[in-house]
Amino acid sequence: MEGVYEIGSSTLDLPLLQKLATEPHQLRLSEATKQRIETAYDYLHHKMQQSKEPVYGINTGFGSLCNVAISDDKLTQLQENLVMSHACGIGEEVPVHIVKTMLLLKVQSLSYGHSGVALSTVELLVEFYNKEVFPVVYQQGSLGASGDLAPLAHLALPLLGKGSVNYQGELREASEVLDELGLTPIKLQAKEGLALLNGTQFMSAYGVELLLKGYKQAYLADLIAAISIDAFDCNLSPFDPLVHLVRPHKGQIKTAARILEFLEGSEIAASEKSSVQDPYSFRCVPQVHGATKDALDFASKTILTEINSVTDNPNIFVGEDRIISGGNFHGQPLALALDYLGIALAELANISERRTYQLVSGLRGLPDFLVQTPGLHSGFMIPQYTAASIVSQNKQLATPASVDSIVSSNGQEDHVSMGANAATKCYRIAVNVQKVLAIELMNASQALAFREPLKTAPFLASILELYREEVPFVSEDRLLSEDIHKSVDFLRGLQIDAAELY
């Protein structure tokens, strides 16, 4: 049975976003939301009839053409020209589940009644969402100010019966799909094109996806690190609460407690150790993984604030009888948060690869490259190369986008956030992190087998039992690429509620 999320009934938070991402549901506008939208629309059109003063983007051109007046009989053409001319995206298509989130966030932003759009326009966006008509949006083209112009132009095109959509797994012309569903394309009125294109919904939708991925990956990094800790026969003293209470970073404390919880009941952990200290990649898991969790919390605060905000321009304030041109479309808050998040996620992979390296090094009683007859068999020599290659790529991707800015629109838009590039780079980092963690899991599970007959913790054993159904122990060389892919799929398939980890 499908649920219903009523726009205007609550604030978008991470548990709700997790639910919307994983469970079938429909959108619906609350009556109060409809009233806010209609009130702002009526106010705007009344204001235009009463005054002929130029108002940016309503009866003027755009960007550096802001001083060009547009006659009343050209206002619809002005808005439609805006959408068509700005649809200059290129590159790979944005995944449809992220486009779906873009639709949700655009409706949410327009729902506050500060945009002056027609109710019918918002309702058609809702229809697209509910009927899973997903506009084709491209990953490249946004400077992150004036918002995500090019991606949002592609999101808006199908409202006019133009452009392409993904519908029922097929790429089709928007006009055909609208006709098939009995939906009528809209005629944009004053300000509507600008309201649809100004905004940060491309960056924000990626941000939502990255929060959900990030919290899950932070959990998986702890889980897999715990397996590696037992596989490398490490001390548990670095995870003692006393150590972390005297340096009480929230993420650090949470990580140490989680590692101890995962390793509870482990015979290996309880055994006498020959080494007084362990390498940093094991000993400093709370400090490194914990810092990533703290970065996630920071990014979460920024992204959740953004998606519950009005990010178009100009803004209409009915009660104050004002229309104000501002800069809420500027993506700097998101750009900084996404750059920080990308660096933080990259570090999960960085330290993971180091643990993998230690596991294959022939230390702590483990055979070289985790194979019983090294030399004849190369064993797990090359998966570490693969992880190292990915980690190196992540370092390149983690170079901040937000420190860059390129002047556009003849100097009118002279500082831009590059937040869209931060978003897509961070997404690539997150995909890479999953691969590196999967390689560590493959190595750690192999190494742990050499600790028998001592057993690991019951919880970890239950996870590994499921994993071994997909990736058996490697007794002799085989095509490990297939095992890596299966390991990635295994982690992807683990049902972990990221919202509970928030």
380-to-28, 270, 281 alpha-carbon distances in Å: 52, 27, 19
pLDDT of 319 reads: 96
Band of the pLDDT at 473, cuts 50, 70, 90? very high
Band of the pLDDT at 375, cuts 50, 70, 90? confident
Give the whole-number percent of the chain exceeding pLDDT 70: 94
- At 44, which helix (H) or strand (E)? helix 31-50
Q: 3-state class of 135 per DSSP? A: strand
pLDDT of 500 reads: 60
Q: 3-state class of 412 per DSSP? A: coil
Q: Which of the pair, 72 or 477, is modelled with greater confidence?
A: 477
- Span 46-55, average pLDDT: 77
pLDDT of 9 reads: 86
Q: Which of the pair, 51 or 85, is modelled with greater confidence?
A: 85
pLDDT of 53 reads: 73
Nearest alpha-carbon partner for 384 in 363, 364, 370: 370
- Span 359-368, average pLDDT: 95
User: Looking at the predicted structure, is the pLDDT value of residue 487 above 80?
Assistant: yes
**Residues with Cβ within 8 Å of residue 332, at least 6 apart in sequence:** 144, 145, 402, 417, 419
User: Looking at the predicted structure, is the pLDDT value of residue 70 above 70?
Assistant: no
Q: 3-state class of 404 per DSSP? A: coil
The torsion region of residue 387 among left (phi > 0), alpha (psi -120 to 50) and beta comes to: alpha
Is the N-terminal amide bond of 314 cis, ω within 30° of 0?
Answer: yes
Residue 167's DSSP bridge partners are: 133, 170
User: Looking at the predicted structure, is the pLDDT value of residue 321 above 90?
Assistant: yes
334-346 pLDDT tens trace = 999 999 999 999 9
User: Looking at the predicted structure, is the pLDDT value of residue 56 above 70?
Assistant: no
120-165 pLDDT tens trace = 999 999 999 999 999 999 999 999 998 899 999 999 999 999 999 9
pLDDT of 110 reads: 97
pLDDT of 230 reads: 98
Q: Give the rounded distance of the alpha carbon of 91 from its chain centre.
A: 18
Mean of all residue pLDDT scores within the chain: 93
Q: Which of the pair, 369 or 2, is modelled with greater confidence?
A: 369
Q: Which of the pair, 320 or 75, is modelled with greater confidence?
A: 320
226-274 pLDDT tens trace = 999 999 999 999 999 999 999 999 999 999 999 999 999 999 999 998 8
Which amino acid is present at 194? L
User: Looking at the predicted structure, is the pLDDT value of residue 295 above 70?
Assistant: yes
User: Looking at the predicted structure, is the pLDDT value of residue 55 above 70?
Assistant: no
Residues annotated catalytic, as ranges: 56
Domains of the chain: 3-198 (1.10.275.10), 206-501 (1.20.200.10)
153, two tokens: 């132009």
- What letter does residue 405 receive in the DSSP assignment? -
- At 499, which helix (H) or strand (E)? helix 498-501
Q: 3-state class of 167 per DSSP? A: strand
- Span 417-433, average pLDDT: 97
403-to-159, 332, 393, 410 alpha-carbon distances in Å: 35, 10, 19, 21
168, two tokens: 């029922």
2, two tokens: 């499908």
Q: 3-state class of 374 per DSSP? A: strand
418, two tokens: 């590059």
pTM given for the model = 0.95
